[in-house]
Amino acid sequence: MKLLLDTHTWLWQLLEPERLSKRVSSALESSRAEIHLSPLSVWETLLLASKGRVDLQPDGPSWVRRALETAPLVAAELTHEVAIRSHDLPGFEIRDPVDRFLVATCLVHGMTLVTKDVSMRKYRPLQTLW
């Protein structure tokens, strides 16, 4: 099972695992799960840190590097097709570019998005887990 973590899911997994649902926790611990993270989630995390919305010690870049070294994740590939698909999501009303790229990444690469975001979970044909 190929899972793509939404930014908040990745952060909660590392900083506040009690916020994850039991289904998500089990899926992330499964030996069958191939867990992916988009480079855009790394970028979004650094933006959140620079705005003071998440406290990453000793600093954002150092924290992210350490987190990526200690938690085995596969970098979700950002391709031209993902970029095109992020623009072409009929019925997907969310304008946030990172959310659009995460959805497109899942659709292009056959992944399930791990997210608590209700708007993204309602979008079909996207497969989600929470």
Residue 114 lies in a domain: yes
Instruction: State the residue range of the domain holding 15.
Output: 2-40+69-129
Residue 85 lies in a domain: yes
pLDDT in tens, 49-79: 999 999 999 999 999 999 999 987 999 999 9
pLDDT in tens, 4-26: 999 999 999 999 999 999 999 99
CB < 8 Å & 24+ apart, contacts of 105-109: 105/4, 105/36, 105/38, 105/76, 105/77, 105/78, 106/4, 108/79, 108/81, 108/82, 109/2, 109/4, 109/36, 109/76, 109/77, 109/82
Residue 79 lies in a domain: yes
**Domain of 10: which CATH number?**
3.40.50.1010
- Total number of domains constituting the chain: 1
